[in-house]
Amino acid sequence: MTRRYKVAVLGATGAVGREMLTVLDEQHFPASEVIALASSRSVGEEVEFGHRKLKVRLAEPSAFDGVDIVLASAGSAVSKLLLPEAVRRGALCIDNSSAFRMDPDVPLIVPEVNPEALAAHKGLVANPNCSTIQMVVALKPLHDAAHIQRIVVSTYQSVSGAGKKGIDELSTQTISLLNQRPFDVTVHHARIAFNTVPHIGTFMDNGYTDEEWKLVRETRKILEEPDMRVCPTCVRVPVFAGHSESIALEFERPITAAQARTILEAAPGVTVVDDPAEKRYPMSMDCAEKDDVFVGRIRQDESVAHGLCLWVVADNLRKGAATNAVQIAQLAIARGWVHGAVH
């Protein structure tokens, strides 16, 4: 007899939602039933769940009757509308949108980093932004060792970070350019094929984008360091899967590159790939469809007293979204916070 849980994937036809179904299947999640929810545009379509196909149902309040766990990735507006309804019906909701991330009543969780914060949940848990997740997984063990004082991070973010429309735009622009045909720019602000675009999200009055500011605010909340100095630049690159980050860190106490490598080799959820002489370093193409965060190019920052530079890569649809959400669900089950039923 095992306890099993009814799971709803909200946004099941999207880039993250499809990955959630894959991760649930791969990890043999103890589900009694998995239901796929999306908008009226997709009702009746089928999505893959392992070897099975699930018929997409309409995301409406009554769809959450009897659901134990909701994994949501249908955007902020849908989360704000529907997740309170699911919570009211007794479900634990794990939300990938930015709707509730900075709400003081909603824990913002990366299981390798701040699992204890999950205890404060009131039915809603937020998954951080993809760029934040991979950064804090790599930084937390170094922070514990030598106390980070300042983070300078530049991201190289794949088009799948902008969902299925972002993926399609890189494909169609690439084909059109190679065939000397005209093309549209609708998702990535400028042509993304054979280009890099230093603009993700919306510019704010301080000159940063809201995407960049997520890295500042979410990192402070997760690490419980409200004054942590973070200087981000977010760039979209013509890569389908996997975000890369160049990170320069300043520490309070001395830490060598060799010490950092040893610490990271023992860190949960981290794989160190760091042998530049053998051309071994993390690359987005090697990290696609993997669940870990990959760290390499670990070296001293010789321009400051106690500094390190790192190159950090992860699949934004996996650890940056689906894997992290499923891990939160597993953590909640392990702590006995989801009821389910004995089968």
Active-site amino acid positions = 130, 243
Q: How far is the CB of 223 from ligand NAP (least distance, A)?
A: 19
Q: CA 205 → CA 118, 145, 210, 213, 256, distances in Å?
A: 33, 36, 10, 12, 38
- Give the interface with ligand NAP as residue ranges (CB under 6 A): 11-17, 38-39, 41-42, 59, 73-76, 78, 96-97, 130, 160-161, 163-165, 316-317, 320-321
Q: Which of 325, 332, 292 is nearest to 110 (CA)?
A: 325
Q: Distance between CA atoms of 108 and 91, rounded to whole angstroms?
A: 17
Q: Which CB atom, from 48 or from 144, has the smaller least distance to ligand NAP?
A: 48
Residues facing 312 on adjacent strands: 245, 295
DSSP codes, 36-51: EEE-TTTTT-EEEETT
Q: Which CB atom, from 101 or from 306, has the smaller least distance to ligand NAP?
A: 101
Q: Which residue has the tokens 């799971």?
A: 7
Q: How far is the CB of 126 from ligand NAP (least distance, A)?
A: 10
Q: Which CB atom, from 48 or from 275, has the smaller least distance to ligand NAP?
A: 48
Q: Distance between CA atoms of 7 and 85, rounded to whole angstroms?
A: 15
CB 242 within 8 A of CB 209: no
Q: What is the DSSP letter of 149?
A: E
Q: Which CB atom, from 6 or from 18, has the smaller least distance to ligand NAP?
A: 18
> 215 by DSSP, 3-state: which?
helix
Q: Which residue has the tokens 């103890």?
A: 30
Q: Which CB atom, from 145 or from 283, has the smaller least distance to ligand NAP?
A: 283
Q: How far is the CB of 41 from ligand NAP (least distance, A)?
A: 4
Q: Distance between CA atoms of 280 and 247, rounded to whole angstroms?
A: 18
Q: Which CB atom, from 155 or from 271, has the smaller least distance to ligand NAP?
A: 155
Q: Which residue has its beta carbon closest to ligand NAP?
A: 14
Q: How far is the CB of 324 from ligand NAP (least distance, A)?
A: 8
Amino acid at 29: F
Q: What is the largest CA-CA distance in the chain?
A: 62
Q: How far is the CB of 82 from ligand NAP (least distance, A)?
A: 7
Which residues, including other chains, have CB under 8 Å from residue 154's CB and lie 6 or more apart? Answer: 232, 233, 234, 235, 245, 246
Q: Distance between CA atoms of 321 and 94, rounded to whole angstroms?
A: 10
Q: How far is the CB of 157 from ligand NAP (least distance, A)?
A: 8
